[in-house]
Amino acid sequence: MKTKEVFRCAECGAQSPQWQGQCPSCRAWNTLEPLSVVKGKNRSGTRSPEGSQAPRPLEELSQEGGQGRPSGFPALDQVLGKGLTPGGAILLGGEPGIGKSTLLLQLAGRQAALGARAVYLSGEESLPQLRNRAERLGLLGPGLLAMASTSAADGLAVLEGPEPPELLIVDSVQTLASVSAEGIPGSVSQVRAVSAELVEAAKKSRTTLILVGHVTKEGQIAGPKLLEHMVDTVLYLEGDRSHFSRILRVLKNRYGPSDELVVFVMKEQGLEIVDDPSTMFLGRRDAALSGSALVMAVEGQRPFAVEVQALASKTFLSIPRRTALGFDTNRLHLLLAVLEKRLRLNLSSHDIYAKISGGLAMRDPGLDLGVVAAILSSFYDRPLPEGAIFWGEVDLNGQVRPVSGRDTRLKQAGRLGHDPVFEAESCRTLADLQRRLFGKNE
């Protein structure tokens, strides 16, 4: 069989895939010695998480131990379904500096405050850095443990020890290396091996495992797509770093609903959950200005009002500009083509800019009608009726189609006092919208 060379510390026995002057585990100098090992399969092997290959009747299995523990964030427990499930694996992604480490350190601190043992394994920060951040957030306590390492063996030692913790946070999976795989930390083979070993050990020890994943410039979680299939839950923290709001989206969840979200606001003491985000994204809106429309959007099961702004200005370019912030630019092109065709508007002489205020990025199809209303308002330079709110999907024939969550949107719009309401039941075509808003016929 093939062999490969690793380096083992003569003092503590820790292994490293490459030679270093200082042992990454015990910090002793010049103690790493070469060692030849047989290349085989990953430690994950082919055994099941329960350690047995024999099939068993599901109805005979006990449900004990499958109940989730409170995370310390009630809103987070609700979107996760069961809170922190023992043996569950969670993958958290997000752009650099968006607040992933802060959120997870707060989560570990709240677990420690609830009496659970939480271990924060950092491959990016030193222990003094972690301590300073925990002190700034007011999280220091006896149950909050931390370690700084870039070796997956250290994380496995925590999970396979005599007293495994209830929560293990690995920040991040791209910084750890396993001796069972070749390549540098962050490579496809290393990410696959490290994740497989940690997930299997967490399921055996009934420890909730949270892996932090880096993202690419396209916003996707870096590494093999297999990483998202191996875990039970995939979360994504997003937001504009120039704003204080953050949105935690649930992209995959084996224990509860997906497409849910939690809204946070960044403060000096860390991230705080916004219990009622229905109006926090409106800011100081002036309803007397043209080009501004309110949309009752639904993300997951949460309805909240957002402001859609549009600007139509005369262009001096041969090809007019089309810019969209907060939603897909192709969606803006489609809506403009429908307006030109169905309402016979000459938009080719105008630059069109559209955005969602508050730094939000949304995919709700109900935004279509609000975007159209804001564009028409700016094109005619006339403000929309004060208190008006919109939602509905616009198809290529200029028809307004209903979207999901109509009762939820209506109830929230009524609670916030918005009237009149423009949606598929009251405004069936774009011509109806134009006539009701501006008194113009097609």
Helix H or strand E encompassing 322: strand 322-325
Write out 87-107 in H/E/C secondary structure. CCEEEEEECCCCCHHHHHHHH
Q: Looking at the DSSP assignment, which residues form a beta bridge with residue 322?
A: 352
Is 96 annotated as contributing to ligand binding?
A: yes
Tell me how far apart the alpha carbons of residues 34 and 8 are, in angstroms, rounded to a whole number: 6
Whether cis (ω within 30° of 0) applies to the bond prior to 185 is no
Is 183 annotated as contributing to ligand binding?
A: no
Whether 208 contacts 85, CB under 8 Å: yes
Is 98 annotated as contributing to ligand binding?
A: yes
Q: Which of 421, 327, 424, 338 is nearest to 376 (CA)?
A: 338
All residues at 6 or more sequence positions from 104 whose CB lies less than 8 Å from its CB, including other chains: 92, 120, 169, 171, 210, 212
The torsion angles phi and psi of 252, rounded to 5 degrees, stand at -150, 140
Whether 47 contacts 53, CB under 8 Å: yes
Is 101 annotated as contributing to ligand binding?
A: yes
Q: Which of 34, 31, 32 is nearest to 5 (CA)?
A: 34
Is 94 annotated as contributing to ligand binding?
A: yes
Chain position carrying tokens 């700016």: 378
Tell me how far apart the alpha carbons of residues 233 and 248 are, in angstroms, rounded to a whole number: 12
All residues at 6 or more sequence positions from 287 whose CB lies less than 8 Å from its CB, including other chains: 383, 384, 386, 387
Q: How far is CA 38 from the centre of its chain?
A: 40
Is 59 annotated as contributing to ligand binding?
A: no
375 burial type by CB count under 10 A (0-12 exposed, 13-18 middle, 19+ buried): buried
Is 359 annotated as contributing to ligand binding?
A: no
Whether 121 contacts 171, CB under 8 Å: yes
Tell me how far apart the alpha carbons of residues 203 and 307 are, in angstroms, rounded to a whole number: 44
Whether 385 contacts 427, CB under 8 Å: no
Is 210 annotated as contributing to ligand binding?
A: no
Q: Which residues are annotated as a binding site for ATP?
A: 94-101
Q: Which residues are annotated as a binding site?
A: 94-101
